[in-house]
Amino acid sequence: MAKYETITLFVSIIAIIISVISAGYSGFLSEKHSSSDYKARELVKSDTARLLATLRSFMHKGALSNTTKEKIDIEPEKEAISKFMNSQTGFAYYSWVDEKSAQAERDGKKGESWRVFFLYLSELANAENPYSASRRAADVELMFDDLTESDVAKIADFNADLIEAISKNSKNREGNLVVKALVESQRERQKENNVNRFVKKLIYLKNIGIDDPNIDMFLATITGEESQLKKALEAGADPHTTDRALLKKYEKELKNYTE
């Protein structure tokens, strides 16, 4: 009996050890699967697989369009492309592509293929000819030939930490020529609008009877009238004052101002 009791005890100990290890491993997997990094990476993989499937669908329908006179419907594929471009993973790809392109620009590499990734996707989202769309879809698929697990991890990082992604996105905007041109153009337009608004407020203050050499100084500076600028300074204008300080000074008077 002692022999069997020993065996039974040994088996029980082994069972307990296996149970503990299994519970620990299950806990490890559970923690891993619930982590934001894991979820972000899985989302990128899932959305990327869906994108690649859409590209293949474009290619097969394009090939079919050359063998039939019937109209080939590519609206589902176009919708899928648009959905990807406007998704969380789409934003992560925007950020990764911009970073990749900006680094290539700094390194003097002019042939970074991913720079046209979203331009090609935009073409597909608005495509009318199935065969032309199939060729463009093939161009996009070729970009994924060299995509690595490390690349997927980097793309997922932009999903895992949105604040850092937004910060990197603004820094790497130079890598996206289309976005850079639009954003910089809009930035200049905003500056111009702010200046025009500021001038209108100064003219309003003068029209209601306020005589302040600082107002004359700013107006002369903006319009480039040197004689008026000199006159304003001689009248006591403070060259160290700011536009904000001047508007703050007449905050009450400007309450009735309307554009």
For residue 258, the model assigns a pLDDT of 83
User: Which DSSP helix (H) or strand (E) runs through 71?
Assistant: none
Quick: pLDDT tens for 214-256. Answer: 999 888 888 888 888 889 888 998 888 888 888 899 989 998 8
| Out of 136-150, 179-193, 227-241, least confident range | 179-193
- pLDDT exceeds 80 at position 193: no
46-82 pLDDT per residue, tens: 999 999 999 999 999 999 998 988 999 999 999 999 9
Please give the radius of gyration of the chain, using alpha carbons only, rounded to the nearest integer: 32
Q: Which amino acid is at 102?
A: A
Report field, pTM of the whole predicted structure over 0.85: no
The pLDDT value recorded for residue 140 is 95
For 112: left if phi > 0, alpha if psi spans -120 to 50, otherwise beta; the answer is: beta
Burial class (CB in 10 A: 0-12, 13-18, 19+), 231: middle
Q: How confident is the model over 107-135, as pLDDT tens digits?
A: 776 656 888 899 999 999 999 999 999 99
* pLDDT value of position 198: 87
